Structure 1
Amino acid sequence: MAEMYKNIETPVMNLLDDCLIHIFQQLDSRMDRDSFGLTCHRWLHIQNTSRRSVKLCCSVTTYGSSRLTQGSFNVSAFHVYKLLTRFPYLTSLSLSGCTELPDSGLSQLEFFGSSLRSLCLACCFQITDTGFSLVASGCSNLKSVDFYRCNITDIGLTAIAKSCLSLQTVNLSYCTKISDCGVRFLSQKCRQLRSLVMSHCRSITGSGFNGCSETLVHVEADSCKLEPDGISGLVSGGGLEYLNLSGLFWSIHGDGLARIGQGSAVHLRVLNLRMCRDATNEAIMMISKGCPALQEWSLAFCHEITITGWVAIGWNCNNLEVLHVNRCRNFCDRGLQALQDGCKNLSKLHMNHCVRVTQLAVESFKCRRSSVVISQEEAVHIFPSFNFTDGNG
C-alpha cells in the first residue's frame, strides 16, 4: 500500500513554475515562505529565485557613529559569491558592516548585479575604488546607493556616476575622500538624482553642484566646508525642498547663507541652520523673503540673529509651522513678540536656554498664541513630515 501512494504524484507538482512563483508571492509570513522552500528542491529553487532582498546580520546599528553589531564571522568574498548565486535576482542588497570584505567580494556583481536597484555598502572599510568600479560595471540599474563611511574617492564615484545614470538616492556621509570633482560628475550625469547625503565631507565646497537637476529635492550637507558659491550651486536646480547645512559656523562667514534666499529655493520647505553661529540678520532677511514655502526652520545656536532678523521672520514666513530658537543668545522678548505678531501658521516653537526671554513675555505669547506649543526639546536632526514632490510630476 505504501509503494502505491509513493508513486502517485500530487496535482500541485504538475504546476508550471510561473504558477508556483505566483503562489509563493501570495505567502505573507516569513515562516510560510521558509516552509515553502523545504518542500522539495524544485520549490527551494522557486523560493531562491523569487527572493528580492537580502540584508546581512552584520549591518550597521547606529548611523552617525562607528558602532557595529558584532557578527559571529567576517563576511568574505566566498560568502557573497554563495549569496549571489543562490539569490540571482535580488533588487536590494545590504552588505553594511562587512568591515573586512575585500574588493573581490563584489566581483560577482558583474554577473548578478543587473537586477539590483538598491545597494548598501555602509562601513565596508576594505572596499576601494576597484570594488566600486565593479559595482559600476555590473549594477547599471541602481537607483539607491549607501556608501556611508566608505573609502571611495572621486575615481570610484565618477565610475558609478557614468554607469548608474538612474541614481536617485546617494549617501556619501563621512566619505572624506570625495571632493567637488566627484560631486560634479554625480550632479551632471545622474539627472534623476533626488536625495544626496554628504555630511562631514569636508573636501566639498559645493562648486560641483552648479547646474544641478531640478529633481534634487533633499540635501544633507552638515559639517561640510561649503563656500558661498557652493551654496548657490546647491539650490541652483530650483527643486530643493529639504536642506541641512547645520554646523557650518566654522566655514561660512558673512552673507554666504544669504545665497539660499536669492530666488532658486522657492520650494524649500525645511531648512536646518543649527549651529550656523555666524548667520547674519541680512542672511535671515534674504531667506525669509526668498523662501516663501518654508514650513520648518532651525536656527538653534544662531547667536548673531538680533531683533532685525526675528522681525523679518515674523513678517515674511507666513507658511512657517515649526521654528527652533534653542540657545539663541540674542533671542529676546522683542523677538518673541515679533513671532507672536507674525508667523500666522506657527504651531510649534522649540525654545529653551534663551536667557534674554523673560517669563512674562512667554506668558504673554501663550495667551495670545494659545495654539502654539512651546517645546523644551532640542532637535539635532529635522525629519520632514511630508512626502517630497514626485520627480515625475
Structure 2
Amino acid sequence: MEASSIIDIPDDCLIFIFQALDCQADRESFGLTCRRWLHIQNITRLSLQFHCSFSLFNITPSQSNLSVESYHLSRLLTRFSHLQSLSLSGCTELPDSALAQLGSSGHRLQALHLDCCFGITDIGISLIGSSCPNLAVISLYRCLVTDEGLEALACSCPGLRDVNLAYCYLITDGGLRALLRGCRELRAVKISFCRHLSGIGFRDCSQTLAHVDAESCKLEPEGIMAIVSGGGLQYLNISGLSSGLRADGLCSIGEGFCKSLKILNLRMCRTIGDESILSIAKGCPLLKEWNLALCHEVKLPGWESIGRFCNSLEVLHVNRCRNLCDRGIQALRDGCRRLCILHINRAYRTSAIELFKLHRGRVQIREEEVMCVGPDWTCR
C-alpha cells in the first residue's frame, strides 16, 4: 500500500475535522500545523471583526488611534476569502477608497457593519453596492451617507433586509423612499435621531417590514401613517417624538394596519392623549409590551381603555406618568389579564398599588427610584 500524506486528504474532509473541534484553543491553533491546514482554517472563517471595531455593548474602539488603510483590508480579504459577515465599525479614518478592496470577495458578503466610519461617504456606499450585491444586512450608524448613497444602495442591493441608518443626519424622506421601493424584502429599518425625516418616505412600504426604530425623530402624523401602511409591523419605537404632535396624532397606529404589532415604545411622547391610547388599545390585539413612561397626557380614560382592550399585554411601562391615578391603577388591575410585569416609579406608593399586589400576586411590580428635577421625573 502506498503511503499517503496530508496532501491526499480532500478539503471537504479537513473542513469537517475543523468544524468538529469543540475547543476554541484547538480551532485557533489548527492552522499552525502546516500551510494546508492554515488554508482550511482561513476558508472556513465566515465572519471577521476588525481589531478596532466595537460591539453594541462597547461603543468605544479598542484602539482609537489605529488607522486602517486599504492594504490592511486587502490582505485580510485575500486571506479570508469566504467571509459572509464583516465588521469595520470603529474604523473612524477608513477612507472610501478602502472599500474598493471588497470587489474580489464582496459577492459572498451578507452582512457589513460600518458604524462610526466617519470617512465613508456616498462614494464608498456606491463601491459597496457594486461589490456586494448579495448584502442582506448593512449598518451605517453615524456615517455621512446622503439620499444619493441610499439610492445607489437600493439599486445594487435589492435583497437588503436589515438597514441601520441611526444618526445619519444627512438623509431625508426622499432617500428613505428610494431605499424602501428598491428593497422590497426589508424587515428592519433604524432611523433614530435622523432629524430631517418626517416618516412619509415609508409610504407604500412592503408588508415584510416588521421592525422600525425611529427614536427622537420629528415624525408627522402622515409619516406615522406611512410607517404602519405595510401592515406587517411587529415592533415600533417612536419614543421621544416632537412635543408638537397632537394628542390624537397616533390614532393611525390603531386604525387597522397594526394588527400584528407586539412591541410599542412611546416613551417620552408627552403630548399623546387618551384618544390615541384608545385607538391603539382597540386596534392592536396582539400587543405584548407597551412603554408609556413619561406620557403625561394619558389620563383615566386612557388607563381604562388599556385595562379593557389590551388582553394580550404582558409588559407595561407607566414610569413617571403624572396623570396615573389610583383609579387608573385599579383599571389596569381589573383588566390586562395576561400582564406579567408592571414598571412604575417607586415614588408612586398608594393603597392602589398594595391592592394591585394583593389581587394580582403573579404580576411583578418593578419599581424605579426617581427624583424630581424641574418639570420632569428622572431616574436617580
TM-score (norm 2): 0.93
Counterpart position of 2:358: 367
Distance 1:66 1:19, change over 3 A: closer
Counterpart position of 1:139: 132
RMSD: 1.9
Task: Say whether 1:285 aligns with 2:256.
Answer: no
What's the offset of the Cα at 1:256? 1.5
Query: For residues 1-393 of structure 1, what are the structure 2 equivalents within 5 Å?
Result: 10-61=4-55, 67-71=60-64, 73-352=66-345, 359-377=350-368
- Which stretches of structure 1, 4 residues or more, deviate above 6 A after TM superposition? none
What's the offset of the Cα at 1:110? 1.9
Q: Could you tell me how far apart the structure 1 residues matched to 2:362 and 2:44 are?
A: 52
User: Are the aligned partners of 1:226 and 1:251 in contact in 2 as well (CA < 8 Å)?
Assistant: no
Number of equivalenced pairs: 369
Q: Could you tell me how far apart the structure 2 residues matched to 1:254 and 1:305 are?
A: 9
Distance 1:354 1:182, change over 3 A: farther
Paired residue type of 1:276? C
TM-score (norm 1): 0.90
What fraction of aligned residue pairs are identical, expressed as a percent? 54
User: Are the aligned partners of 2:292 and 2:316 in contact in 1 as well (CA < 8 Å)?
Assistant: yes
Q: Could you tell me how far apart the structure 2 residues matched to 1:375 and 1:344 are?
A: 18
Q: Could you tell me how far apart the structure 2 residues matched to 1:238 and 1:222 are?
A: 20
State the Cα deviation string for residues 244-270 of structure 1 (Å, max 9, x = none): 010004342232111111110011011
Distance 1:72 1:37, change over 3 A: farther
State the Cα deviation string for residues 203-231 of structure 1 (Å, max 9, x = none): 11110111111111111101011110110
SS at match of 1:243: strand
Paired residue type of 2:158? L
Counterpart position of 2:378: none
State the Cα deviation string for residues 10-61 of structure 1 (Å, max 9, x = none): 5433112232223223223332233221222222222222221110121125
User: Are the aligned partners of 1:158 and 1:185 in contact in 2 as well (CA < 8 Å)?
Assistant: yes
User: Are the aligned partners of 2:218 and 2:242 in contact in 1 as well (CA < 8 Å)?
Assistant: no
Paired residue type of 1:47? Q
SS at match of 1:376: strand
User: Are the aligned partners of 1:285 and 1:312 in contact in 2 as well (CA < 8 Å)?
Assistant: yes
Q: Could you tell me how far apart the structure 2 residues matched to 1:369 and 1:348 are?
A: 11
Paired residue type of 1:52? L
Q: Could you tell me how far apart the structure 2 residues matched to 1:199 and 1:189 are?
A: 21
Counterpart position of 1:3: none
Gaps of 5+ in 1: 1-7, 379-393
